[in-house]
């Protein structure tokens, strides 16, 4: 049985996730997140980012379990991780959001798309923001942006079918800062990771902290 992979990157949630909904509608999925050393070692990555990331991954794993699936973690370069999974189990399709990241993630995405095309594996990418890729003219950007912003929030799927347990697909554990080759995280007050924590933070801003934001913010 070849795998349908839902590739999670910055989109660590089960609600408003078009790739997850599309893959779940087609059948069993492998929900995958890859710790990528080249991103973890990049100048714009801090050990505190890893703490936030791990909290978000734990929250996502819990939500996927509630839907009948789980989050599989791997560590490695891409597309090498995909190549290994394809060699061992076969991959029928990859589903994911278009990512707006840095130069490293941009080059990574190009490598993944090139490998998937050469291997004959469909790579379904869904837009998630106002960044419109491969526009031939900027004249079309405003209309596309407005269309995307009008989209309603996509409900969480009622179920995310899991791949058969007989496949025995292994998962790594949450990566520690030592394993990632990072320095010890600073002791400071941090925003907690996870979808519910994000909603709580937004609501507290809209209802309390942000009441006078417009009048009191610096010019």
Spatial separation of the C-alpha atoms in residues 148 and 153, rounded to whole Å? 11
Tell me whether residue 11 is in a domain.
yes
Per residue in 23-66, pLDDT (tens digit) is: 999 999 999 999 999 999 999 999 999 999 999 999 999 999 99
Total domains in the chain come to 1
Q: How many CB atoms lie within 10 A of CB 199?
A: 11
Tell me whether residue 106 is in a domain.
yes
Tell me whether residue 54 is in a domain.
yes
Domain that holds residue 51: 3-128+169-216
Tell me whether residue 160 is in a domain.
no
Q: Is 120 helix (H, G, I), strand (E, B) or coil?
A: coil
Per residue in 189-218, pLDDT (tens digit) is: 888 899 889 999 999 998 988 888 877 776
Tell me whether residue 141 is in a domain.
no
Spatial separation of the C-alpha atoms in residues 138 and 133, rounded to whole Å? 11
Predicted pLDDT at 218: 66
Per residue in 133-190, pLDDT (tens digit) is: 777 767 777 777 777 777 888 999 999 999 998 888 999 999 999 999 999 888 778 8
pLDDT at 219 over 60: no
Residue 158 region by backbone torsions, left for phi larger than 0, else alpha for psi between -120 and 50, else beta:
alpha
Tell me whether residue 114 is in a domain.
yes
* Short-list 78, 84, 99, 102, CA closest to 10: 99
**CATH number, residue 190:** 3.40.50.620
Residue with tokens 């913010």: 217
* Short-list 71, 54, 62, 56, CA closest to 20: 71
pTM: 0.89
Predicted pLDDT at 27: 95
Tell me whether residue 154 is in a domain.
no
Tell me whether residue 134 is in a domain.
no
């Amino acid at each position: 049985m070849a795998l349908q992979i839902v590739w999670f990157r910055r989109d660590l949630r089960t609600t408003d996730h078009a790739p997850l909904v599309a893959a779940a509608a087609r059948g069993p999925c492998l929900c995958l997140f890859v710790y990528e050393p080249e991103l973890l070692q990049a100048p714009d990555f801090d050990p505190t980012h890893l703490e936030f990331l791990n909290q978000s991954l734990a929250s996502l794993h819990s939500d996927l379990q509630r839907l009948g699936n789980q989050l599989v973690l791997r560590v490695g370069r891409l597309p090498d991780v995909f190549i290994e999974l394809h060699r061992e189990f076969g991959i029928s399709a990859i589903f994911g959001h278009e990512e707006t990241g840095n130069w490293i993630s941009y080059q990574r995405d190009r490598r993944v798309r090139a490998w998937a095309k050469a291997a004959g594996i469909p790579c379904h990418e869904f837009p998630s923001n106002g960044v419109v890729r491969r526009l031939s003219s900027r004249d079309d950007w405003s209309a596309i942006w407005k269309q995307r912003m009008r989209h309603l929030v996509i409900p969480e799927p009622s179920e995310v079918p899991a791949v058969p347990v007989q496949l025995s697909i292994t998962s790594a554990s949450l990566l520690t800062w030592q394993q990632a080759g990072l320095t010890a995280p600073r002791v400071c007050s941090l925003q907690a990771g996870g979808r519910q924590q994000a909603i709580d933070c937004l609501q507290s801003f809209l209802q309390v902290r942000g009441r006078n934001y417009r009048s009191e913010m610096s010019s």
